[in-house]
Amino acid sequence: MLRLTCKLVLFLILFGFQAMGSEPNVSLNYKPNEMQRVSKPWYIEDFRFGGGVGYGLYVTNQMDYEITTNYGNFKELIPTYYAGIYKNVNRNIEMGVQARFGKLLSLKSQNTQGTSCEFTDAMFSFVYSFNDNVAMERKPFTVNGILSLGVINFRSKYFTVDTKTQVEDDIISSVGYNNAIKTGKIQPERQTALIANTGIALGYRLNHTFSVYWETTYNMSSSKKMSGNLFKRSLIPPDGYLYSSVGLFIRFGSKRGQLSCPKF
Protein backbone atom coordinates (compact mmCIF):
# COMPACT_ATOMS: atom_id res chain seq x y z
CA MET A 1 0.00 0.00 0.00
CA LEU A 2 2.82 2.41 0.90
CA ARG A 3 4.64 1.62 -2.38
CA LEU A 4 1.44 2.41 -4.31
CA THR A 5 1.03 5.67 -2.40
CA CYS A 6 4.63 6.72 -3.13
CA LYS A 7 4.07 6.05 -6.83
CA LEU A 8 0.91 8.17 -6.67
CA VAL A 9 2.82 11.07 -5.08
CA LEU A 10 5.52 10.84 -7.78
CA PHE A 11 2.81 10.84 -10.47
CA LEU A 12 1.22 13.96 -8.96
CA ILE A 13 4.61 15.73 -8.95
CA LEU A 14 5.25 14.92 -12.61
CA PHE A 15 1.66 15.75 -13.56
CA GLY A 16 1.88 19.06 -11.69
CA PHE A 17 4.95 20.19 -13.66
CA GLN A 18 3.39 18.98 -16.91
CA ALA A 19 0.26 20.99 -16.18
CA MET A 20 2.30 24.10 -15.34
CA GLY A 21 4.35 23.94 -18.52
CA SER A 22 2.10 22.52 -21.23
CA GLU A 23 2.77 23.69 -24.78
CA PRO A 24 0.61 26.41 -26.30
CA ASN A 25 -2.55 25.04 -27.88
CA VAL A 26 -2.99 27.30 -30.92
CA SER A 27 -5.52 26.27 -33.55
CA LEU A 28 -4.78 26.73 -37.25
CA ASN A 29 -8.44 27.50 -37.78
CA TYR A 30 -8.26 30.71 -35.79
CA LYS A 31 -11.44 32.77 -35.65
CA PRO A 32 -11.13 36.26 -34.12
CA ASN A 33 -14.60 36.19 -32.64
CA GLU A 34 -14.09 32.92 -30.78
CA MET A 35 -12.45 32.58 -27.36
CA GLN A 36 -9.60 30.12 -27.66
CA ARG A 37 -7.59 28.57 -24.82
CA VAL A 38 -3.85 29.21 -24.99
CA SER A 39 -1.64 27.63 -22.30
CA LYS A 40 1.34 29.49 -20.95
CA PRO A 41 4.66 28.12 -22.31
CA TRP A 42 7.79 27.44 -20.28
CA TYR A 43 10.16 30.37 -19.75
CA ILE A 44 13.43 30.08 -17.84
CA GLU A 45 12.68 33.30 -15.92
CA ASP A 46 9.57 31.65 -14.45
CA PHE A 47 11.78 29.21 -12.52
CA ARG A 48 13.87 29.70 -9.41
CA PHE A 49 16.59 27.22 -8.42
CA GLY A 50 18.47 27.08 -5.15
CA GLY A 51 19.06 25.60 -1.76
CA GLY A 52 19.86 26.41 1.81
CA VAL A 53 20.46 25.21 5.33
CA GLY A 54 18.46 25.16 8.53
CA TYR A 55 17.74 23.32 11.77
CA GLY A 56 15.12 20.70 12.55
CA LEU A 57 13.64 19.88 15.95
CA TYR A 58 11.54 16.83 16.87
CA VAL A 59 7.81 17.32 17.39
CA THR A 60 6.60 14.09 19.01
CA ASN A 61 5.99 12.60 22.45
CA GLN A 62 9.73 11.79 22.47
CA MET A 63 10.64 15.45 22.10
CA ASP A 64 12.64 17.52 24.55
CA TYR A 65 11.40 20.92 25.67
CA GLU A 66 14.88 22.33 26.16
CA ILE A 67 17.47 22.58 23.39
CA THR A 68 20.70 20.79 24.34
CA THR A 69 23.79 22.41 22.82
CA ASN A 70 26.69 21.33 25.04
CA TYR A 71 26.25 17.94 26.70
CA GLY A 72 29.19 15.73 25.83
CA ASN A 73 29.13 15.33 22.05
CA PHE A 74 25.37 15.83 21.89
CA LYS A 75 24.11 18.89 20.05
CA GLU A 76 20.44 19.12 19.12
CA LEU A 77 21.00 21.91 16.60
CA ILE A 78 22.27 19.92 13.62
CA PRO A 79 22.32 21.42 10.08
CA THR A 80 19.78 20.06 7.60
CA TYR A 81 20.35 20.97 3.96
CA TYR A 82 17.82 21.36 1.18
CA ALA A 83 17.59 21.95 -2.57
CA GLY A 84 14.55 23.08 -4.51
CA ILE A 85 13.13 24.18 -7.84
CA TYR A 86 9.94 26.23 -8.22
CA LYS A 87 7.91 27.60 -11.13
CA ASN A 88 5.54 30.53 -10.80
CA VAL A 89 2.15 29.86 -12.35
CA ASN A 90 0.77 33.38 -11.99
CA ARG A 91 1.19 36.41 -9.73
CA ASN A 92 -0.10 34.51 -6.68
CA ILE A 93 0.94 30.89 -7.10
CA GLU A 94 4.06 28.85 -7.68
CA MET A 95 4.64 25.11 -7.49
CA GLY A 96 7.81 23.16 -6.99
CA VAL A 97 9.78 20.30 -5.51
CA GLN A 98 12.06 20.42 -2.47
CA ALA A 99 14.37 17.71 -1.08
CA ARG A 100 16.01 17.71 2.36
CA PHE A 101 18.91 15.78 3.85
CA GLY A 102 19.44 15.96 7.59
CA LYS A 103 19.44 14.58 11.10
CA LEU A 104 17.31 15.10 14.21
CA LEU A 105 18.53 14.58 17.77
CA SER A 106 16.78 15.00 21.10
CA LEU A 107 17.72 14.20 24.70
CA LYS A 108 15.00 13.82 27.34
CA SER A 109 14.35 12.76 30.93
CA GLN A 110 17.15 14.96 32.31
CA ASN A 111 19.44 13.79 29.49
CA THR A 112 19.22 10.11 30.49
CA GLN A 113 17.53 9.06 27.21
CA GLY A 114 17.91 10.15 23.63
CA THR A 115 16.58 9.64 20.14
CA SER A 116 18.06 10.37 16.71
CA CYS A 117 16.83 10.20 13.12
CA GLU A 118 18.78 10.50 9.85
CA PHE A 119 16.41 11.28 7.00
CA THR A 120 15.89 12.24 3.39
CA ASP A 121 12.57 13.60 2.21
CA ALA A 122 11.13 14.99 -1.02
CA MET A 123 7.92 16.99 -1.32
CA PHE A 124 5.79 18.63 -3.98
CA SER A 125 4.86 22.12 -2.76
CA PHE A 126 2.03 24.55 -3.45
CA VAL A 127 3.08 28.13 -2.62
CA TYR A 128 0.67 31.07 -2.35
CA SER A 129 1.77 34.71 -2.11
CA PHE A 130 -0.36 36.70 0.34
CA ASN A 131 0.78 39.99 -1.22
CA ASP A 132 0.20 38.90 -4.87
CA ASN A 133 3.91 39.01 -5.67
CA VAL A 134 5.18 35.42 -5.76
CA ALA A 135 7.86 36.17 -8.39
CA MET A 136 8.75 39.52 -6.74
CA GLU A 137 8.12 41.49 -9.93
CA ARG A 138 6.13 44.35 -8.42
CA LYS A 139 8.00 44.67 -5.11
CA PRO A 140 11.28 43.21 -3.82
CA PHE A 141 9.59 40.97 -1.22
CA THR A 142 6.88 38.33 -0.86
CA VAL A 143 5.05 36.66 2.02
CA ASN A 144 4.15 33.08 1.11
CA GLY A 145 2.09 30.29 2.58
CA ILE A 146 3.27 26.72 1.93
CA LEU A 147 1.41 23.40 1.66
CA SER A 148 3.36 20.25 0.68
CA LEU A 149 3.02 16.49 0.34
CA GLY A 150 5.71 13.88 -0.25
CA VAL A 151 7.67 10.95 1.16
CA ILE A 152 10.38 10.56 3.80
CA ASN A 153 12.95 7.77 4.17
CA PHE A 154 14.84 7.45 7.46
CA ARG A 155 16.71 5.40 10.00
CA SER A 156 16.41 6.08 13.72
CA LYS A 157 17.38 4.84 17.16
CA TYR A 158 16.25 5.17 20.77
CA PHE A 159 19.01 4.97 23.38
CA THR A 160 20.05 5.64 26.96
CA VAL A 161 22.81 8.07 27.94
CA ASP A 162 25.54 7.57 30.53
CA THR A 163 25.24 10.77 32.59
CA LYS A 164 28.75 10.41 34.00
CA THR A 165 30.61 10.17 30.70
CA GLN A 166 27.86 11.97 28.72
CA VAL A 167 28.00 9.44 25.87
CA GLU A 168 25.53 7.05 24.27
CA ASP A 169 25.08 3.94 26.43
CA ASP A 170 22.60 1.18 25.50
CA ILE A 171 20.48 1.24 22.34
CA ILE A 172 16.95 0.25 23.30
CA SER A 173 15.53 -0.06 19.78
CA SER A 174 16.45 0.93 16.24
CA VAL A 175 15.12 1.25 12.69
CA GLY A 176 17.17 0.88 9.52
CA TYR A 177 20.63 -0.03 10.82
CA ASN A 178 20.57 -3.49 9.17
CA ASN A 179 21.87 -5.31 12.28
CA ALA A 180 25.00 -3.11 12.29
CA ILE A 181 24.45 -2.08 15.91
CA LYS A 182 23.49 -3.97 19.08
CA THR A 183 19.96 -3.16 20.09
CA GLY A 184 17.12 -4.56 22.16
CA LYS A 185 14.34 -4.34 19.56
CA ILE A 186 15.16 -3.93 15.91
CA GLN A 187 13.72 -3.26 12.47
CA PRO A 188 16.66 -3.84 10.09
CA GLU A 189 15.21 -1.98 7.07
CA ARG A 190 14.94 1.78 6.72
CA GLN A 191 11.42 3.16 6.97
CA THR A 192 9.55 5.05 4.25
CA ALA A 193 6.45 7.06 5.09
CA LEU A 194 4.25 9.86 3.83
CA ILE A 195 5.03 13.37 5.00
CA ALA A 196 3.15 16.65 4.69
CA ASN A 197 4.01 20.16 5.79
CA THR A 198 2.58 23.62 6.15
CA GLY A 199 4.30 26.87 6.96
CA ILE A 200 5.33 30.32 5.87
CA ALA A 201 8.18 31.79 3.82
CA LEU A 202 9.49 35.32 3.47
CA GLY A 203 11.33 36.14 0.26
CA TYR A 204 13.48 39.16 -0.57
CA ARG A 205 14.93 39.96 -4.01
CA LEU A 206 18.55 41.09 -3.76
CA ASN A 207 18.87 41.87 -7.49
CA HIS A 208 17.59 40.62 -10.85
CA THR A 209 19.19 37.20 -10.32
CA PHE A 210 19.45 36.39 -6.60
CA SER A 211 16.83 36.17 -3.87
CA VAL A 212 16.93 34.99 -0.25
CA TYR A 213 14.15 33.08 1.51
CA TRP A 214 13.49 32.42 5.18
CA GLU A 215 11.17 29.46 5.63
CA THR A 216 9.60 27.76 8.64
CA THR A 217 7.42 24.65 8.33
CA TYR A 218 5.83 22.00 10.53
CA ASN A 219 6.41 18.57 8.96
CA MET A 220 4.12 15.70 9.98
CA SER A 221 4.77 12.08 8.97
CA SER A 222 2.49 9.04 8.84
CA SER A 223 5.02 7.04 10.87
CA LYS A 224 5.46 6.51 14.62
CA LYS A 225 9.06 5.29 14.21
CA MET A 226 11.00 8.51 13.52
CA SER A 227 11.98 8.55 17.19
CA GLY A 228 13.38 5.01 16.94
CA ASN A 229 11.15 3.96 19.83
CA LEU A 230 9.61 0.68 18.63
CA PHE A 231 7.75 0.34 21.93
CA LYS A 232 5.64 3.37 21.12
CA ARG A 233 2.02 2.41 20.44
CA SER A 234 0.08 5.62 20.02
CA LEU A 235 -0.02 7.58 16.76
CA ILE A 236 -0.95 10.72 18.69
CA PRO A 237 0.90 12.96 18.40
CA PRO A 238 2.28 11.79 15.02
CA ASP A 239 6.05 11.90 14.55
CA GLY A 240 7.28 15.02 12.83
CA TYR A 241 9.68 17.92 13.02
CA LEU A 242 9.79 21.70 12.95
CA TYR A 243 12.19 23.08 10.33
CA SER A 244 13.47 26.64 9.95
CA SER A 245 15.92 27.57 7.19
CA VAL A 246 17.53 30.27 5.07
CA GLY A 247 18.13 29.73 1.36
CA LEU A 248 19.60 31.44 -1.71
CA PHE A 249 17.78 31.16 -5.04
CA ILE A 250 18.71 32.04 -8.63
CA ARG A 251 16.36 33.14 -11.39
CA PHE A 252 18.12 33.05 -14.77
CA GLY A 253 17.29 35.57 -17.48
CA SER A 254 15.20 37.61 -15.08
CA LYS A 255 14.57 41.31 -15.56
CA ARG A 256 12.30 41.54 -12.54
CA GLY A 257 12.33 44.85 -10.75
CA GLN A 258 13.07 46.88 -13.88
CA LEU A 259 10.57 49.47 -15.08
CA SER A 260 8.84 48.39 -18.26
CA CYS A 261 5.73 48.98 -20.28
CA PRO A 262 2.54 47.51 -18.80
CA LYS A 263 1.52 44.07 -20.06
CA PHE A 264 -1.97 43.63 -21.44
How many distinct helices (H) and strands (E) make up the chain?
1, 10
| Residue 168: alpha-carbon gap to chain centroid | 29
Specify the CATH number of the domain 2-17+48-250: 2.40.160.20
Q: Are 167 and 185 in contact (CB under 8 A)?
A: no
Q: Looking at mean pLDDT, say which of 28-32, 55-59, 106-110, 247-251 comes out highest.
A: 247-251
Q: Are 198 and 126 in contact (CB under 8 A)?
A: no
Report the percentage of the chain scoring pLDDT > 90.
51
Residues sharing a CB contact under 8 Å with residue 236, sequence separation 6 or more, in sequence order? none
Lowest mean pLDDT among 53-57, 161-165, 251-255: 251-255
Encoded amino acid at 17, one letter = F
Domain ranges of the chain: 2-17+48-250
